Amino acid sequence: MHICHIVLNNIGGAPKVADSLISSQSKAGYEVSTVVLTVLESRWIVSFKAAKTVIVMKVAGTLFIIGGMIHQIWVAIKLSGVIAEQKPDIIVCHSAFITKLFYLSKFIPGSFSVPYISYIHSDYISESQVKCKTNSISALIQNLFISLASRIDMLALQQASGLIFVCNSLYQRLANIGLKHHRIVISYNPAIDEISNQPLHPTAKSWFNNSQLITFVCASRFHHQKDHKTLLKAFAKVSENHLNIRLILLGEGDLETEIQALAKFLDIDEIVLFAGSVLNPRAYFSLSRAVILASHFEGLPLVLVEAVASGVTFIATDCPVGPREISEVLKCGTIIPPSNVDALAAAIIDHVKTPQENIERSEQIAQLFSAASCAERLEVLIEQVISKVSIN
């Protein structure tokens, strides 16, 4: 059987999950290919080495702006040609956006007819709501395009041969707006073990080695979604009365310079470390007091699972999807309202005033967030889809 995975790019949680699935399927004897729509950096963060074939379409990032329907149709045409050359037995689309592109590609003359599974990793409803604008004619037009795109998204999901959601709350969010499907699978993403021996940032190491300091860690890209502004404002508020706290920010992104400027404006740039992208975030997690995630929205934020796997607890915002479910499943963590400086500051103070909490959830994590269970759920779904196609 030839399984083709389509991913948006090579960076982030969804590509890592796809890479894990591709590796498992390759070891199981399947022929696996991967189509990557665009590469965000010259160096591969995820390289999909286990795939027999990796095709990079090199589609410019600007083509993914919501409302750019003409561009999206152009990408769908290119995608149709790629799939026709590969001739897979089944497609796995790793986002609602890719599902839409593949759905549109099926209407291209000469396209290759093949069943597809949609693997939903993120809360794309919240993503589209962020992009909505008001108070101008151009904004009205853009909102109409967003509405049209959402309708096509829903139709593409309804027509899929199967749907996989990375958590129950994500499925419920779509079910609440009318999504109905006869073949739904809930599959938590795997918490993949680290193999890097990258040394700690020198400043981070000195902070961790100082028993008088209490250091928190946040690992997320610098993007509006992750709301570093609220995090820094809360941290600045706490630092007024707790001079021994430190914050390490792991990651990169378009807003990094802006967030650095905010840290300087708040006069906390000496106690906030911008450590950049690292290959061993768990090494930082394990030495911290807690991991903080201040996002406006998420899918299944594995950073929280990885924090717990490292033996520490977390503070996370109560997004529509993700953090609360992880907190309830693993029975740990502090959940606070999004965009609330006072609530986040209070949660940080609670962790400063209480002793270090050692978390042991290895059994639950191995059971619920393993690569094997994730691959098994997808394999069962693929077999169901293929068997139905064979009967028809």
Residues 148 and 212 in one domain: no
Q: What is the pLDDT of residue 144?
A: 64
- State yes or no: pLDDT of 303 exceeds 90: yes
| Window from 29-38, 102-111, 244-253 with minimum mean pLDDT | 102-111
Confidence of residue 46 (pLDDT cuts 50, 70, 90): confident
Instruction: In whole angstroms, give the CA distance from residue 283 to residue 310.
Output: 8
Q: Are residues 178 and 255 in the same domain?
A: no
Kindly state the DSSP code that residue 320 receives in the 8-state scheme.
Answer: S
pLDDT at 67: 43
pLDDT at 90 over 80: yes
Read off the pLDDT of residues 157-195 as tens digits, 9 standing for 90 and up.
999 999 999 999 999 999 998 898 999 999 999 987 777
Q: For residue 259, what pLDDT is reported?
A: 98
197 domain residue, yes or no: no
Summary mean pLDDT of the chain: 90
Domain around 108: 2-190+370-391
Q: What is the pLDDT of residues 224-242, one digit of tens each?
A: 999 999 999 999 999 999 9
pLDDT at position 124 is: 81
Looking at the structure, tell me whether residues 121 and 253 fall in a common domain. Answer: no
Q: For helices 96-105 and 69-86, what crossing angle results, to 10°?
A: 70
* Number of domains forming the structure of the chain: 2
64 pLDDT band, cuts 50/70/90, is very low
Between 161 and 42, residue with greater pLDDT: 161
Model confidence, pTM = 0.88
Q: How far apart are CA 388 and CA 301, in angstroms?
A: 33
In-domain check, residue 329: yes
Query: Who has greater pLDDT, 55 or 42?
Result: 55
Asked whether the CA dihedral 244, 249, 254, 256 is positive or negative, the reply is: positive
CATH number at 330 reads 3.40.50.2000
